[in-house]
Each structure stands twice: as structure tokens, then as C-alpha cells.
Structure 1
Amino acid sequence: MAVADVRALAEQLGCASRAYGLPGAALSTGCLETVQQLSRLFREMLPREMAEESIFQNLLAILMKTSSEIELACKDSCESVNVDMDLLLIAECFRCLRNACVRCAKNQHIIRNLQFIDVSVHLIQLLHGLENEQELLLTAFRCSLQFLGNLAAGNGDSQNSIWKCAFPDLFLTCLNHHDVKIIAYCCMVLFTCLNSEKVRELLEQKNLNVALAVLKVYRKQLESEWSITLLELIMAKVSEKNEVTSEELAGLLKQADFLASCFQEKCQTVLRLTSAAKNEDEEALVTIRLLDVLCEMTSNNRQLEHLQTCPGLLETAVDILQLTHLAGKQATNVFTATHSVTGEGEISHPAVGFKSHLIRLIGNLCYKNKENQDKVYLLDGIPLILDNCSIDDNNPFVNQWAVYAIRNLTERNKRNQALIARMEQQGLADNSILENMGLEIEKRDEKLLLKSKKKPSSGTTK
């Protein structure tokens, strides 16, 4: 039955595609109804697999005719041109194509070879140019992107073809659209097409606006998982040990500025994670990944030097460390220091390690930087870091990162050294922590000095 239905509709579609555009509303309506029937039929696997190339040729002919009508409407903006039927047909053709591509490599191959991608990208740009905010236009726009997403799914050749036609202009057009569904579908297409080579292209200086546009979605759409995905890709890129070109470095520095500003703006969202019901808060999850990326970026000397001068970043890191530390003391939550004697029961929570990474970032930003060392002193950040030195299952390696941060804070900084020495004498700093850092307190001329411990002499060195 499905085979007969497909063949019958294929014949009807051929007649309808030839008749579409001729005078008479009934012809257009008949064309729309035929495409709608095909769309419904293509929800099933067997009809999809039975579809012949002629069906897609006729759908292409309809799209090209509607494209001409839309183009005419864009040019004659001073006149009121009714394109409602064109928009209905565009939406239904893309629905039909979208359904035809689901788990069907044969149809993906045919559709790609018929140059649907070029026609679709051109049509999407035309839709964007229409000064029309009605739902019909938005629906056609959304369906076109859904089609491209399904065409790309699991098909490397289609992914490459879409990328070639759509990057960067079409992605920028859609990412900056006001409609949240259009933005989400655009992100779906973008990330479906990405591979390691395209990630490098995405993060080049000349294409950085696309990456930044995805991250700006995070500011507008708090439930966008694409921002987290992109941050994962950026982190993988900045973690590479390969030498970067001057152009790549310029792109990374521009990213660093933007990511730092995002972190400063959104960092307090992690406090929502004090509630067990909020442990999947999308905004807080993105903030956690932002911190991870900033830690990686500040582990690279050239990016570190740039971020050390980023206005407000260090202050924000100290402030949010203070807030999370207080939140953990005021009630039992993920920011509360815990320690299991047995070491059993791995803690699974998105905020695990957040305070460790904050301390790591502070330590990085203070590396051989006197101005930042002094800022942390004035912000009372040193006692705060020392107060986070205990073993904490919620923050693996927090002790090690605190040791690292204190070492960077006290390097060639006598005031910071003196502060820690006074704290130790007053019992405010754990002497064992200082010992782990290779430091000890020495009293000289009524002054307390923090100095490196002498290593015991031995016959070998390592």
C-alpha cells in the first residue's frame, strides 16, 4: 500500500509542480495538499526508502518557483505582495524534505546531489530579508533549518556541503535572529557539521563572530545547551600543546575577553546550586564551564598575560570564592567541605571542583604579577584561600591548588609573606599547610618572616 501511495503522490506532485505558479488559487492549494500528504507519508521508514528522485526534483522545482516569488517580494518592498501561499509551500516542502532525510542515506545523497543545499541557503537568506514578522514566515524559516539539520545528520558529505554554503554568513544571520527556535535550530545545524578541522576554522580570527554569537545565545537563552558544547570545543582547542599562529592567538585573546566578561556577568548563578533541585540549572552549568576554560587559558603564558590585565576578572574570582565559601558554611550543600574517611561514594554534582578551580584561577592570575598579588591582599583573599586548604571531597585537589596559589601570592611580596606569618603566629593559619608549601616562620628582630624551609642535606638530588 505504501508503494502505491508514494507512486500516486509522485505523479500528483509532478502535475502540481508544473501547474504551480499558473493563475488559479486551486492549483496552488492542490500543490500544497499533495506535499502535505507526502510529508505525512515520509514519517514512516518504508515510504521514505521507496521515494524516487523524481519526487525530489519536483520539490526542488516548487522551491525554486517560490524562491522567485519571494525574491520579487523583497525587491518590490514598496508594494504589498501577498506571499502567504509561497510561505506555506516553502514550509511544507522543507517538512517533506526533513522527514525524507531521517535515517535514509539514499535520500540524503539524492537531495544533496540535486543542489538543494544551495537553493535552501539562498531561500533562507531571502526569508530573512522579508520585512514580515508573521508566523507563516517564521515557520518556513524554522522548517528550512530543521531540514538542513536532518540532511547533515550522520552524513559527512552533506555536513561538508552545508558548511561550505552556510559558513559563516548564514550561521551569523540565524544566530542573530530574534526567534529563539531559529537560533536553536541554527545551533543544531552548526554543531552537527563540526569536526576538528571545522573547529579550527570556527576559532580563527576572521570567523570568531560566529563562535561569539553562539556564546551570546547563552546570555539571551538560558536553556541553550549549545553554549556548553561550544565551550567544550574551545577548551579542547586552548588545551592543545601545539604552537598557535599570531592570527590564532589574536582570535583566542578576543575569545578570552568575551569569556571573561560572560563569567563576570553570570558567575553568581552557581549559588543556585546550593539547592538540590537546581543542580541542572543551565545558566550555572555554563558558568562552571566558563571557569574551566579560563583556567586553561591562564595556563598558557601569552593568554595569561592578557587575562592578568582583564578588568575585574580577579576581583570577581575572589568575590565568588567568598560567596560560595560562605554558602557552604551557612548550610549543608555542594559548597560545604566534606571528607569521607573511607573515600567511598564518589560525589556526582556539576559544581564539584568549582572552588578548586576558582583558587586555581586566582593563583594563575597572580603568577609573577605584583599588582594582582596586592589586589588579593586588599580583598582579604589570602585568609580566604588558607581557609579552603582542608581536604574536601567536593573539591578534589583544593589543597594542592591552594598551595600553588599561596606560593604565587607570596613570591617576592613581603607584605603577603608577613600577613601569612602573622596568621600562623595567631593560630589563624595551619602550620602543616605552610610546611606542605615548603615554608616556615622565622622571628627576626621582633619581625615575623616567611621563608623557604631548608631541605635536609643528602647525598643525591632529584
Structure 2
Amino acid sequence: MAAPRLPPARLSGVMVPAPIQDLEALRALTALFKEQRNRETAPRSIFQRVLGILKKSSQDVELACRDPSQAEHLASSLQLITECFRCLRNACIECSVNQDSIRNLDTIGVAVDLILLFRELQTEQESLLTAFRCGLQFLGNVASRNEESQSIVWAHAFPELFLFLVITDHFLKSPELVKAMYAKLTNPERVTFLDLMIAKMVGDDPLTKDDIPMFLSHAELVASTFVDDCRGVLKVTSEHQTEDEEVLAIIRLLDVLCEMTANPDLLVYLQGFPGLLERAIDLLRLVHVAGKDTTNLFTATGCIKADADISSVADGFKSHLIRLIGNLCYKNRENQDKVGRAPCFDVWNVWLGRRHPVNELDGIPLILDNCSIDDSNPFLTQWVVYTIRNLTEDNSQNQDLIAKMEEQGLADPSVLKKMGFEVEKRGEKLILKPTGEAPQP
């Protein structure tokens, strides 16, 4: 027989069961919290009751950890735990008041301790995985855009839970938790996390349709962080600064973006990400100029060593920048045109202090100027060829631009030939066409 209930309480004009003592009542609350008005008017006592159920159910999990024979009797407890997490997860969506109330009850500590207990259970029940996943979603939502909650999650989760989640690949499955925690990671920890993300994308098992939504969220985090922080890589242009943990983290962000843009579903999103293409061109120009002005880690060596060992954090950086630019322009006319437009020094842009108008990146001469052998950037020429082909595919304006550059002596014919192109004059018109020969290494 069900436990007797008190008369129902009201939540924003909607009748809800109180006190919350069973699965049915929790499910009702979870549904109610899908609406913003219900979240904003929830009394603190609701979360105290949910926490009470969570604590009571946690005792059953502790018992099963001590006595594995009890694990098979956990079904009802795991159902309650799962619904508690779902209820709390929904309550925290865009509601800092609820985040604060839940945090101040020490629900975060109880949740983290419970998730850590899950890994000790000697069972592979699907209900356990569901509870585990919902618990991570709750931690992500309670910490989202809430610095105090982020600090509490971090205090309870690091290092034990964080390292466990990273190693078992579960951290990637909670985008909100990733977003909330990324800012708290040290640069070496960020590198570890980004390496895990790369391993997931290039592993034997390709991303599934179910993986794409969470990786779209990761793509937003990675791209926005790269756009904001990527100029920090210029630290290594100093003759006294050759290694830096922040620089390594930025380089790993670029590596992740290269792999993400190799995925058709993620590529479409990143091709339209605000400022990403512009920042990549801008950064390529800065490191290219820096490498020419002084001798530093971005200076082209003009040779290839036999051993081809990676000797610095900046090795391969320009190659990957150009690869990213090429991916972002793949079958995308808008981005092709952005990169190909030449600067226009009209009076208004001079008055406004702009080098050239917005969206006119003048990137083709820059990319062509990088077509050279460079020991620090393996396959640099091949990525330049790839990118130029993506920029000129079905784009007569960019083709004409390169042809005119060759006529004016701004593009070396031997470089174009090495890339598999040649310029042919037909009447008054210059045509850029493929030679039919494979590009030379």
C-alpha cells in the first residue's frame, strides 16, 4: 500500500503531490519543472524533500557496495535516484535561484558521493547507467553559468570524479558539465581532456548520430575558446619563451577543430561559427609575419630532417591552421568569398582605422606564400594545395584572382605548377586550370 500523503501543495498554480515520497510524485515534479514559470516559483522545501529521497536511496547503494548480493535488489532505488536527478536537473535549467537553493542544501556533495559509489557496484544494469548519466546531467545544469556552483562541483569532483569521468569517456557525454568545468581546468588538464576528445573522433568507432548533438555542444566550446584565446600562441615568438602550457592548450584546440571539421555534421556548424574563419586567417598572418621578422619557432626551416622528430610545441601549427581554413571553405561559397576578397582601401575604411573592410580577408596571397618546404610543418605544401583547391572549386572569382596574381608577378608560376595549376591566356581572359598532373611534394 502506498504511503499516506498530505494534501497536495501548489506550485505556480499547479497541484503537485506533497510530501514527495514516491516515484510517481517525482515524475510529476520532473514534468512540472520543464516549464520556466514552475521553476521560478518552486519552494525550497521541494528540494529538501527530493534530497531526502536521494539520501535514503543512497543508503541502499552503500549496502550493495558492501554486500554485492544486494545489488540485484537495487532496481527500485535506482529508479528513485534517477528521477531525483532528473527532477533536480530540470529545476536548474536557466534558474539561478534553484541552483543556489539546491547547492546550499549540499545536494552537490551528496550527488558526487553517490556517483562515485556507482562505480563500485558490481552490476551492469541499464538502470545504473541511466542513473549515472542523469547524475552527470544534474551536475552540469546546477553548475551552468553559476560560478559558486561551479566551485562547489569542482571542490567535490576533483580529482577523483573528474579523472574517473575522463578515463571512462563519461565526461564527454555531459556537455553542460564540460562547459561548466572547462574553465576550472589547468592547461595540462585541458590538454588531457582535448586529447580524449580527439581520440573519440578518430577512434575505430566513428561518431554515431546520437553522439552528434553532444559534439555540437563541444564544438561551440572549442571554437569560442579558440577565437577568444588563440593569439596567446604568439608567446612563443619570443626568443626567451619556447615552451608554454597555455600555448600547448591552444594548439590542442586547433587540433580538435581540424578533426571536428573533418566530420560532415560538425563541419556545417563550424563553417558558420562567428569569427572562426576570420580568426584563423588573422592568426596565420600573424605567425607567418612573425616567422619572417625574427628567428623563432614559426620561422620556416626550408628543409626536412631525416628523423622528422617533433621538437617544439609549435611544430605543425601553420599546417593545421591552413588545414582548418581549407575545411571551413569546403563547398562553402560564402567562406570562399570571404577568404578571396582583396583589401579595398577606400576613404571610409582609412578613416575608421580598418586595414580592410569586414569579411575581406585577402587570404589567398597569404596561403600561397606558405607553399614551401618547412621541417617544422610536415605536409605544409599538401595542405596549401588542398586549401587552394577548396577556395577555387566552382568559384571563378578566386580562380581569376590567382590568375591575375600570376600575371602581375605576385604568384610564382613554379609554385602554381607544383600545386597542379597553370595559368592560360584565352583572348583577353586569364584562366586558372589544373595541369592534370599530381601535385608535387
1:316 to 268, 272, 279: 279
Q: Secondary structure at the match of 2:176?
A: helix
> Structure 2 counterpart of 1:275, which letter?
S
- Contact 1:407/1:437 (<8 A) preserved: no
> Structure 2 counterpart of 1:216, which letter?
A
The residue correspondences of 1:392-407 to structure 2 (distance < 5 A) are 392-407=374-389
The residue correspondences of 1:51-450 to structure 2 (distance < 5 A) are 113=66, 129-130=103-104, 157=120, 164=132, 167-170=136-139, 178=148, 183=154, 186-194=157-165, 198-199=168-169, 201-204=170-173, 207-217=174-184, 223-240=186-203, 242=205, 244-340=207-303, 343=306, 346-378=309-341, 379-450=361-432
RMSD: 4.0
- Contact 2:367/2:384 (<8 A) preserved: yes
- CA spacing shift, 1:157–1:339, aligned 2, 3 Å: farther
- CA spacing shift, 1:438–1:173, aligned 2, 3 Å: same
> Structure 1 counterpart of 2:245, which letter?
E
Cα distance per residue 1:287-334 (max 9 Å; x no partner):
111111110011111211121111211111101111111111121111
Task: Measure, in 1, the Cα distance between the counterparts of 2:412 and 2:122.
Answer: 57
- Contact 2:371/2:384 (<8 A) preserved: yes
- CA spacing shift, 1:170–1:415, aligned 2, 3 Å: closer
Task: Measure, in 1, the Cα distance between the counterparts of 2:394 and 2:122.
Answer: 54
- Contact 1:368/1:411 (<8 A) preserved: yes
Q: Secondary structure at the match of 1:440?
A: strand
Task: Measure, in 1, the Cα distance between the counterparts of 2:257 and 2:409.
Answer: 34
Structure showing greater Rg: 1
- CA spacing shift, 1:110–1:281, aligned 2, 3 Å: farther
- Contact 1:388/1:402 (<8 A) preserved: yes
Identity of aligned residues (%): 46
Q: Secondary structure at the match of 1:227?
A: helix
- Contact 1:367/1:408 (<8 A) preserved: yes
Cα distance per residue 1:416-454 (max 9 Å; x no partner):
111111222333223233223321110111221101224
TM-score (norm 1): 0.60
- CA spacing shift, 1:455–1:347, aligned 2, 3 Å: closer
**Which structure shows the higher helix fraction?**
1
Task: Measure, in 2, the Cα distance between the counterparts of 1:331 and 1:159.
Answer: 60
- Contact 1:159/1:192 (<8 A) preserved: no
- Contact 1:340/1:393 (<8 A) preserved: yes
Task: Measure, in 1, the Cα distance between the counterparts of 2:155 and 2:248.
Answer: 18
Q: Secondary structure at the match of 1:442?
A: strand
Give structure 1 stretches of 5+ with no counterpart. Answer: 1-73, 76-108, 132-136, 457-462
Task: Measure, in 1, the Cα distance between the counterparts of 2:281 and 2:303.
Answer: 27
Task: Measure, in 1, the Cα distance between the counterparts of 2:230 and 2:246.
Answer: 9
> Structure 2 counterpart of 1:364, which letter?
N
Give the drift of 1:349.
1.2
Q: What is the match of residue 11 of structure 2? A: none
> Structure 2 counterpart of 1:298, which letter?
T
Task: Measure, in 1, the Cα distance between the counterparts of 2:423 and 2:318.
Answer: 27
> Structure 2 counterpart of 1:210, which letter?
L
> Structure 1 counterpart of 2:276, which letter?
L
- Contact 1:347/1:393 (<8 A) preserved: no
- Contact 1:238/1:296 (<8 A) preserved: yes
Cα distance per residue 1:87-119 (max 9 Å; x no partner):
xxxxxxxxxxxxxxxxxxxxxx9996399xx9x
- CA spacing shift, 1:114–1:366, aligned 2, 3 Å: same
Give structure 2 stretches of 5+ with no counterpart. Answer: 1-43, 46-61, 69-76, 85-98, 342-360
- Contact 1:184/1:224 (<8 A) preserved: no
The residue correspondences of 1:5-16 to structure 2 (distance < 5 A) are none
Task: Measure, in 2, the Cα distance between the counterparts of 1:447 and 1:401.
Answer: 28
